[in-house]
Amino acid sequence: MAGRGDPPEGTPEGLPGGGEDEYRSVVFDESFVRAARLQEFSAQERMGDHARAVRSRPAWGPRTGPKQALLLVLLIALAFGTAIYMGVRQPYRPSSSRPAEALRSTVIPLAPKDPVPGGDPAELYARSPAAQFRTGAAGITLPGATRTENFSESQVMTALTIAKDYLVESSLDPDVLSGAVSRPVRVLLDPDQLEQFDRSFDAPADDGRHAATGWLVRFDPAKVALAEPEVRVQGTLRYHDAGPGSLEVISDHTFAYALRPAGAGADATASAGDQSADDASLFTVRRELHFRFDRDDLRTHRAELLFSYLQAGPMACSANAAGSLQPLLAGQRATADGPAGTDPYETGRAAAPLCGALAPSVQPSP
């Protein structure tokens, strides 16, 4: 017997599950009907003359369409405006991918004409041009930073800060000055310069490239010790924009060190006669350093050291200052020997030793 809703003849043979399954694949759900572009008129609407059977529906609903379109336009305008704003505030600058250059360095001994004065460190400072210098890192002052064509104010200040950190570690750290360590300076250098740095300490040479004293100030601990840990400092820092990928900083500072002989006893006497061998003496170093920074250096707090120019005295002209500075101490005087001879017939890199005369006025007054 056929059930309610079934054809009088019953379910046709060969159609499992009945006739409903035959049309199940073409039955449309509510979302499909709503999305249809054509809509059938109602029976009452079709009674009119010349009425079409269907009408077209708008792609956007009457309520949501205009709002969505307006929202899309606003999003596009916002994205476009943001791109313009960011381009004005932070214009794209190509990063510098060139490797760091090798350091070029010059070390010039300054030989005194008279014996080196000695005495108490405080008295020596008071009677020298370093009397008005500041002590330690306080003597390395930073200039005001302003925005350049290619670098922001904060980037300029970062470069100046890194340069100061390098000067503090390489010129004021007692462990660096004594030759005990070099790592505090090494970690501030661009990685491209580390091989040259290491070679300068493994095999120092006065060749303009591999002098340890081109990178930092240090003394031979077997000969020299600090008579006072505080160093007197005075100098300047300046900067300039060197192009889209480079910011350069130039430092020019004079450092005054109070030194004494290493291991000197209170009862020993100097070869000059009336001065104690443990008397302090002043040793003056002028360093001019040229730094270059790219954006990676500023981000990683490191520097590329391009050029190092150092004058130091009192020191004999014949002293080998590639590995460490060789100060003349209290009561000592420079010998008559000049710089080592230069052979113009020798092949290879042409290099002549340099030496200057230390002006008497820079020594502590009597």
Q: Report pLDDT digits (tens) over 75-105.
A: 888 887 777 766 555 554 445 457 889 999 9
CB 124 within 8 A of CB 280: yes
CB neighbour burial string for 166-199, b if at least 16 within 10 angstroms, e if fewer: bbbbbbbbeebbbbeebebbbebbbeebeebbee
Report the pLDDT value the prediction gives residue 186, as an integer from 0 to 100.
98
pLDDT at 266 over 70: no
User: What distance, in Å, lies between the first and last C-alpha atoms of the chain?
Assistant: 137
φ, ψ of residue 83 in degrees (nearest 5): -60, -40
pLDDT at 339 over 70: no
Report the pLDDT value the prediction gives residue 293, as an integer from 0 to 100.
97
Lowest model confidence (mean pLDDT) among 12-16, 158-162, 209-213 = 12-16
Lowest model confidence (mean pLDDT) among 9-23, 40-54, 235-249 = 9-23
Q: Residue 109 pairs with which residues in a beta bridge?
A: 312
CA atoms within 13 A on the CB side of 288: 7
Report the pLDDT value the prediction gives residue 152, as an integer from 0 to 100.
96
Report the pLDDT value the prediction gives residue 92, as an integer from 0 to 100.
46
pLDDT at 11 over 90: no
For the segment 138-158, the average pLDDT, to the nearest whole number, is: 96
pLDDT tens digit sequence for 178-194:
999 999 999 999 999 99
Report the pLDDT value the prediction gives residue 38, as an integer from 0 to 100.
56
pLDDT at 46 over 50: yes
Report the pLDDT value the prediction gives residue 107, as an integer from 0 to 100.
96
Report the pLDDT value the prediction gives residue 271, as an integer from 0 to 100.
45
Report the pLDDT value the prediction gives residue 270, as an integer from 0 to 100.
44
What percentage of residues in the chain have a pLDDT greater than 90?
59
pLDDT band at 133 (very low <50, low <70, confident <90, very high): very high
Which ranges of 90-203 does DSSP label H, i.e. alpha helix?
121-126, 153-171, 174-177, 183-186, 194-202
Distance between CA atoms of residues 151 and 214, nearest Å: 28
pLDDT band at 196 (very low <50, low <70, confident <90, very high): very high
For the segment 316-327, the average pLDDT, to the nearest whole number, is: 94
Show me where the domains of the chain are located: 30-92, 104-264+275-335+353-362
Q: What is the mean pLDDT of the chain?
A: 83
pLDDT at 272 over 50: no
Report the pLDDT value the prediction gives residue 268, as an integer from 0 to 100.
43
Whole-model pTM: value is 0.71
